[in-house]
Chains A and B, each alone.
Chain A
């Protein structure tokens, strides 16, 4: 009984120590990509890693906290896309639990499905709140699609999905590659995620 209590306390302290650091991963990569105006986001790698390591609740906290802090420093509209981060965490957890990161084919498939889901969640925010343009690299593609005759709604959706497909697939691959580089004895401390299902720990 006491051992189980100690384990719960250990898990709790580990989660609390890890959350701020995972927020830092989102902040660091997201801000570099934004400053360079690249047509991708790469701002959810920390969310995906945290979800795979500690479950969707922790992933969602990391994603939302990252959005709030990044909107204070580099990307003002980021906070409005907090809902997308929660959905990313939820989807990653479900995919991870069913072994969605086990091999390259599965990782790419997970990335594609994640991209579709993220576009469906974030496109209404981009369309209704920002009129289709948020000032990042993807806005240029939205403008181009509008200039060749697509309506604003379709342009936002099409540019969103095309960017998200590359972005989310890359994020799933990068997140897995990073976790694969972490020594297994370190990963073994983390519970509640889907590391075992994806052969990241024995």
Chain B
């Protein structure tokens, strides 16, 4: 199941979530917000798997390194692990908020950006930047496959792929520049910039319950942290 989130709910949740996090100095509250609000939201929107792999591959090693480094720097008896934990939890909360807001299903990207008030050059740039990662991965894969086929790479392990970096870089960037010029000519001929500007946003059915929940949770999170800060 994938719940549709309204663009305004996304932006409201982003602002209240990050502002609330900035005021928060309580580790337990941050953990509770992540467990009770952010994690269910990631699951409901169908991004649970992506979130867990992000936690496992990025956040966990980074947190371990932060804890380890802090342990080395400070005297073990006076080490301020509470503060390090606060940094780690804030990092998790901020990143998850951004993930909830910015992981948008491809069918809704155009409508969401339009509703956020983007138009003209900004809209085109944002749409392009949004899909660039897939484009770059595909290109790199093609270059590596070509080198593999020609016998330059003995095995497709991580290390051998890494050794290919210098050989990958130049064809990748030359390809990018060539694509940019070709794409630009094609856009001029097809009047893509004008078409994007006047294209009608598609009608999407938003889930009222999820959207109301997001707005309520965001507002409550911000108010709670403001109240606790100036209690």
Chain A residues close to B by CB (< 8 Å): 9-10, 12-14, 16-25, 27-29, 32, 36, 49, 61, 65, 69, 71-77, 130-131, 133, 135, 139-140, 143, 146-147, 174, 178, 181-183, 186-187, 189
User: Complex formed: what's the CA distance from A74 to B174 in Å?
Assistant: 25
Q: 21 A–B contact pairs at CB < 8 A? A: A17-B128, A17-B181, A17-B183, A19-B125, A20-B125, A20-B132, A21-B128, A23-B129, A24-B135, A24-B136, A32-B165, A72-B95, A73-B54, A77-B91, A133-B69, A139-B69, A146-B73, A147-B73, A178-B169, A178-B170, A189-B184
B193 touches A13 (CB 8 A): yes
Is chain A's binding surface mostly helix, strand, loop or mixed? helix
Does B140 belong to the interface (CB within 8 Å)?
Answer: yes
Q: Given the complex of chains A and B, what is the CA–CA distance between A134 and B91 in angstroms?
A: 11
Number of inter-chain CB pairs below 8 Å = 137
- Within the assembled complex, what's the spacing in Å between the Cα atoms of A76 and B87? 12
Interface centre among B98, B130, B132, B170 (most CB of A within 10 A): B132
Q: Which residues of B does A touch, CB under 8 Å?
A: 54, 58-59, 62-63, 65-66, 69-70, 72-73, 83, 87, 91, 94-95, 98-99, 102-103, 121, 124-125, 128-133, 135-136, 140, 162, 165, 169-170, 172-174, 176-181, 183-185, 187-188, 192-193
Residues of A within 8 A of B181 (CB): 14, 17, 186, 189
Give chain A nearest CB distance to B181 CB in angstroms: 5
Q: Which of A16, A23, A74 contacts B124 (CB 8 A)?
A: A16
Whether the Cβ atoms of A69 and B129 lie closer than 8 Å is: yes
Instruction: Give the shortest distance, in Å, between B163 (CB) and chain A (any CB).
Output: 12
* Besides the known contacts A21-B177, A133-B73, 7 further A-B residue pairs in the complex with CB atoms under 8 A apart: A13-B193, A16-B184, A25-B176, A27-B136, A71-B98, A135-B63, A186-B174
Most buried by A among B73, B94, B121: B73
Cβ A133 vs Cβ B70 within 8 A:
yes
Docked pose: A10 CA to B184 CA in angstroms: 7
Closest beta carbon of chain B to A83's beta carbon, Å:
17
Whether B162 lies near A28 (C-beta < 8 A) is no
Query: Shortest beta-carbon distance, A29 to chain B, in Å?
Result: 8
Contact A27 B128 (CB under 8 A): no
Is the Cβ of B177 less than 8 Å from the Cβ of A27? no
Report the Cα distance A111→B54, complex, angstroms.
Answer: 34
B129 / chain A contacts, CB cutoff of 8 Å: 19-20, 23, 65, 69
Alpha-carbon distance between A182 and B179 when the two chains are bound, in angstroms? 13
Given known A-B contacts A16-B193, A19-B128, A25 and B95 have beta carbons under 8 A apart:
no
CA distance A74 to B53 in the complex (A): 11
Question: Taking the nearest CB of chain A, how far is it from the CB of B131, in angstroms?
Answer: 7
Give which listed residue, B59, B135, B162, contacts A21 with CB less than 8 A: B135
Within the complex, the shortest CB–CB distance from A41 to chain B, in Å, comes to 15
Q: Which B-chain residue is minimally distant from A181 (CB atoms)? A: B170
- 7 shortest A-B CB distances, which residue pairs? A20-B128, A24-B136, A18-B180, A14-B184, A17-B183, A135-B62, A24-B132
B133 contact set on A, CB distance < 8 A:
24, 27, 69, 73
Query: Nearest Cβ in chain A — how far from B107, in angstroms?
Result: 19
A17 / chain B contacts, CB cutoff of 8 Å? 128, 179-181, 183-184, 187
Residues of A within 8 A of B131 (CB): 20
Chain B: minimal CB distance from A92 (Å): 16
- Residues of chain A within 8 A (CB-CB) of B180 are 14, 17-18, 21
Contact A9 B125 (CB under 8 A): no
Across the interface, which residues of A come within 8 angstroms of B183, CB to CB? Answer: 17
Complex Cα–Cα for A77 and B129 (A): 19
Whole-angstrom CA separation of A22 from B183 in the bound complex = 14
